[in-house]
Amino acid sequence: MNGLFYCDWFQEYTAALALSVAESHKVTLIVRESSSEFRGRREDEEQLHRDLMQAGIDLRVLPGKYSSVRSMFNIYKIRSDKRKNGYDYFHIQSTDDPRFLWLALRMPTVCTVHEPGARQDLHNEFPLLNRGEVVRRLYRYLARRIVVHTQSGLAGLSAREARKAVVIPHGVHASVPTESVASKTILFFGRVSAYKGLGTLLAAMEHVWKVEPQARLQILASRPTPGEAECRYDVSDGRISATWDGYSKSDLEHALTNACAVCLPYTSASGSGVGAQAYGSGKPIVASDLEGLRALVAHEELLVQPGDADDLARALILVLSRDYGVQEIDPIRTWPNVALAHIATYQSVVNDDERELQSKS
């Protein structure tokens, strides 16, 4: 099969999926030029693009804004290539970019929704009056299949959307160390959004330091996706190191190597890219007891009540005082197996499309 992928956010996720699918299928990937996802770390973006091209993926980089002349010229070229290359299916990550609705209308389409039910525009009390929300719903309407990462993600879809949804876990790059490290550092990383529970973690650390005065907290934070409310915290305690404006891939790798554990104190979750990265590192994970996170935590006592600083402190003290060792990775969650699940989904939408064409002829 010959697949066409597009994302204007979730580029690292889409690239990892495309690289795995490209092991057995032809893949064309369309991305945005200078994506805001890579703000402050353009070297990571450039390296990712080199990796994609070296793997034989046909990478198309769209310049400019949605409505720019340069962008529209490139869209026209993609339209021409569609006729020439005969793409079998179209896979799009949830987006408010309207330029590819014509593709979703004309091709068997799969749409991944990473956080179903989450308010994309927190400042708009009437989401159906918001252009971005209308576009996102149109893509879900046109898609033959909707991918979510957890069973709880189905609850964030409409009844019609849930009937055509499939659950495929977020892929994991396994980079597990051979042994645990002696460390007193708790790591929090990812977008600083309200539901990430960083305020609860900061409150919990005050309790932790009474028992483990040598404990440290490292925060690697990046800006939230467009439309999400950004949460910043005034951190002056010398036992906390905080980066608020983004971090590089090497920064994260170094932090994961030197951390005792990763903390995911979320108040809601229907899947987590940060959780997948933490899980792939083999580090013990302390997380809120939510369906989207529960499967990532190897030890039940490290699950905590969402929003409960006292319970979070209890679990953090445990992980700081015991050697939980290196966490094993479930092979089903690794990218090669996640790619196989996607390929089966692509094949199903292509088969459905062929049956429809035969019934009309």
Tens of pLDDT, residues 68-106? 667 777 777 777 776 667 899 999 999 989 989 988 998
Residues 231, 312: Cα–Cα separation, whole Å: 20
Percent of the chain with pLDDT over 70: 89
Q: What is the pLDDT of residue 270?
A: 56
Residues 6+ apart with CB under 8 A from 296: 264, 272, 275, 276, 278, 279, 285, 287
**pLDDT band (50, 70, 90) for residue 21:** very high
Q: What is the pLDDT of residue 334?
A: 95
DSSP code at position 171: P
Q: What length is written for the chain?
A: 361
**pLDDT band (50, 70, 90) for residue 122:** very low
Specify the 3-state DSSP secondary structure of 103. Answer: helix
Q: What is the pLDDT of residue 230?
A: 63
The token pair at 309 is: 């600083």
Percent of the chain with pLDDT over 90: 62
CB atoms near residue 106 (< 10 Å) = 12
pTM of the model: 0.86
Residue 121 has pLDDT above 50, yes or no: no
**Higher per-residue confidence, 292 vs 180:** 292
pLDDT tens, 159-168?
Answer: 999 999 999 9
DSSP per position, 218-250: EEEEEPPPTTSPB-------TTEEEE-S---HH
Mean pLDDT of the residues in the chain: 88
Residues 323, 184: Cα–Cα separation, whole Å: 11
Contact call for residues 217 and 239 (beta carbons, < 8 A): yes
H-helix or E-strand spanning residue 145: strand 145-148
CATH 3.40.50.2000 segments of the chain = 2-171+334-360, 185-321
Least confident of 20-34, 121-135, 157-171, 244-258: 121-135
In the predicted model, what is the mean pLDDT of residues 240-247? Answer: 90
**Higher per-residue confidence, 246 vs 343:** 343
108 class by beta-carbon count within 10 Å (0-12 exposed, 13-18 middle, 19+ buried): buried
CATH of 185-321, one of 2.20.28.10, 3.30.479.30, 3.40.50.2000, 1.20.120.920: 3.40.50.2000
Residue 330 has pLDDT above 80, yes or no: yes
**pLDDT band (50, 70, 90) for residue 38:** confident
In the predicted model, what is the mean pLDDT of residues 311-323? Answer: 97
Residue 28 has pLDDT above 60, yes or no: yes
% helix, strand, coil for the chain, step of 5: 45, 20, 35
Specify the 3-state DSSP secondary structure of 297. Answer: coil
DSSP per position, 31-95: EETT-GGGTT-HHHHHHHHHHHHHTT-EEEEE-S-TT-HHHHHHHHHHHHHHHHHT--EEEEES-
- Closest C-alpha among 1, 6, 144 to residue 75: 6
CATH of 2-171+334-360, one of 3.30.70.580, 3.40.50.2000, 1.10.10.10, 3.30.70.20: 3.40.50.2000
Residues 6+ apart with CB under 8 A from 132: 96, 120, 121, 227
**Higher per-residue confidence, 292 vs 141:** 141
Q: What is the pLDDT of residue 124?
A: 47
